[in-house]
Amino acid sequence: MSNRVAIVGATGLVGEALLAILQQRSFPISELTLLASERSAGQIIDFNGEKHQVKLLDDFDFENIDFSFFSAGAAVSRIFAIKAANAGSVVIDNTSEFRYDDHIPLVIPEVNPHALKDFKKNNIIANPNCSTIQMLVALNPIHQAARIKSINVSTYQSISGAGRSMLNEYDRQVVDSNYPENEENFFAHNVIPQIGLFENNGYSLEEMKMVWETHKIFEDKSIEVNPTAVRVPVRFGHSEAIGVVTENHLSIGQIRGLLSESSGIQLMDDDESYPMPVREGEGTDAVYIGRIRADLNHSNGVNLWVVADNIRKGAALNSIQIAETIIESNY
């Protein structure tokens, strides 16, 4: 059965990735509609050898759309995702707008596909934050086997996570002989320990997203999550240094075995090889894991290094996998 698909935010980084992955995975599409703001409407985009003109979102009726993928920001989803869902379209939203709504499922197909069973109550499924997705894909096999009690994570997040305009700004700064003079954003050759505004507790919004989303997806608010989110001068691919403590003991061999048998994970864990964003973080679909080692101070602790493409698995691919799961499971 083919599907009528709409992509909102079709000209952005995630929108481009959605189109590429839909083609690569031969997602069954009978009709494709590309939507964007007035600034981008009218552009011509090729998909499967056919030319598609980007339409203006404001004027669009979602009544005859089966799946709507939203990647145009929370403010857009706040209005138009609800409009699409009310028209009968299944909305898969890549923004933060619905993630913390108790009535909206927040889904990583490799981790909690069961959360989709009641999605028709609102016709909206939320895609988690990019950093949460790769972390929980990596940790879920450990959690299922031994229950994770605490997570300490430091993220090293690429510039593309801030969107196309910031990526273009970074590229300009890299070759600007006058940088860093007269700059507001110091992306090039720099490490920034803030992503998003700071909350009252001193943690950034990006860091708190990882706390809230871990609790919701793992369905366990007792897990202690201690995150630090950092922007680094890398174009694509997020990296994470993760340390966990489990309730029950697992040997490093057992952990390697669990991870190697899990969907969506690629182990690169030996003395000669470990994942890096410049190689594994762009144009890839797996969550790459290396540097697996026992915690020096806790008998039930383990440390991991995790890399993934933040635009693909961290956004576009996960969204498409949600749609595929709905189709395959006949929800």
User: Which segments within 94-185 are labelled E, that is strand?
Assistant: 124-126, 148-157
- Cα–Cα distances in angstroms (integers) from residue 138 to residues 107, 197, 278, 314, in the given order: 15, 27, 19, 13
Question: Which of 254, 234, 142, 252 has its CA nearest to residue 192?
Answer: 234
- Catalytic-residue membership of 52: no
The domain ranges of the chain are 3-128+315-329, 131-310
Q: What is the pTM of this model?
A: 0.96
Query: What CATH number does the domain located at 131-310 have?
Result: 3.30.360.10
- Cα–Cα distances in angstroms (integers) from residue 203 to residues 190, 221, 302, in the given order: 20, 18, 24
Question: Do the Cβ atoms of 37 and 64 come closer than 8 Å?
Answer: no
Among the listed residues 114, 238, 249, 298, the single catalytic one is 238
The CB-side HSE value for 39 (13 A sphere, CA atoms) comes to 5
Read off the DSSP letter of residue 116. G
DSSP-derived secondary structure for 217-235: HHT-TTSEEEEEEEE-S-S
Name 11's Cβ contacts closer than 8 Å, sequence gap at least 6: 34, 36, 40, 43, 45, 54
Instruction: Return the CATH fold of 3-128+315-329.
Output: Rossmann fold (3.40.50)
Rg (CA), the chain: 20
- Catalytic-residue membership of 130: yes
pLDDT tens digits for the chain (331 residues)? 799 999 999 999 999 999 999 999 999 999 999 999 888 999 999 999 999 999 999 989 999 999 999 999 999 999 999 999 999 999 999 999 999 999 999 999 999 999 999 999 999 999 999 999 999 999 999 999 999 999 999 999 999 999 999 999 999 999 998 888 877 789 999 999 999 999 999 999 999 999 999 999 999 999 999 999 999 999 999 999 999 999 999 999 999 999 999 999 999 988 789 999 999 999 999 999 999 999 999 999 999 999 999 999 999 999 999 999 999 997 7
Among the listed residues 52, 114, 130, 298, the single catalytic one is 130
